[in-house]
Homo-oligomer: A and B are copies of this chain.
Amino acid sequence: MKFENFATYLKEKAGITEEQYHQLTEVLRSKTVDKGQFLLKKGEVCQHSFFVEKGLLRSYSISDIGKEHIIQFASENWFMSDRSSAYFNEPSDFFIDAIEETTVVLIDQNFIKLASEISSSFREYNEKLLQNHIRHLQKRVNLLLGASAEIRYLNFIKLYPDLTFRVPQWMIASYLGITPESLSRVRKELAKRHFKPQ
């Protein structure tokens, strides 16, 4: 079966039937990129949502003084995209590249439109994804507004225990909005207090 994870995902989460799946995936393409390769660069209009079949992606911006800020990670069964760029047809501010060799399923607007037409549960699920995205961003803003580096890190490993080990530490630091050195010190402090992740 083509796109095994994606198939399971659509059926279990978005309520797509076996039959609908075959109808939908006829036009679907996938793409495999090596570690370090780009799926989107700043200035390009984001044409797809990428469903991660296997591997690990990140999206990030680069500030005017050259600092990377990681916006999001996406491992298996997650979507990665720049929604704003795709929706408003604007050049993206972000880069998307692969942290590991990664296979993605390319989802374009046509797919979404077609799937929404033939399945109302897909349409609802898609709306739910949007709402979830907002909820997630709001929590992140809230943490960035008030919480210390340590609390933000603890929150990260609670939310993404798997990523904690797959993602290089300096990228986690970037996601948290601190330097790699600071994260190293936070971890040292936690270890001293006998905290072990997991």
In the complex, whether A145 has a CB less than 8 A from a CB of chain B is yes
Tell which of B61, B88, B144 touches A135, judged by Cβ atoms closer than 8 Å.
B88
Instruction: Indicate which residue in B67, B84, B88 contacts A138 across the interface (CB closer than 8 Å).
Output: B84
Q: Classify chain A's interface size.
A: 20 to 34
A28 CB-CB contact with B under 8 Å: no
CA distance A84 to B63 in the complex (A): 30
Known: A137-B141, A140-B141, A177-B145. A131 touches B71 (CB 8 A): no
A144 and B146 within 8 A (CB): no
Residues on B with C-beta less than 8 A from A133 are: 134
Beyond A84-B135, A133-B134, list 17 extra A-B contacts (CB 8 Å): A61-B142, A63-B146, A63-B147, A69-B142, A69-B145, A71-B138, A71-B141, A83-B135, A84-B131, A93-B142, A134-B134, A137-B137, A144-B144, A144-B145, A144-B177, A145-B177, A146-B177
Interface pairs (12), CB distance under 8 Å: A63-B147, A69-B142, A71-B142, A83-B131, A84-B134, A87-B128, A88-B131, A130-B130, A133-B134, A137-B137, A137-B138, A144-B177
> In the complex this chain forms, how many copies of it are found?
2
Least Cβ–Cβ distance between A164 and chain B, in angstroms: 19
Nearest B residue to A140, CB-CB: B141
* Cβ contacts A156-177/B at 8 Å (1 or 0 each): 0000000000000000001001
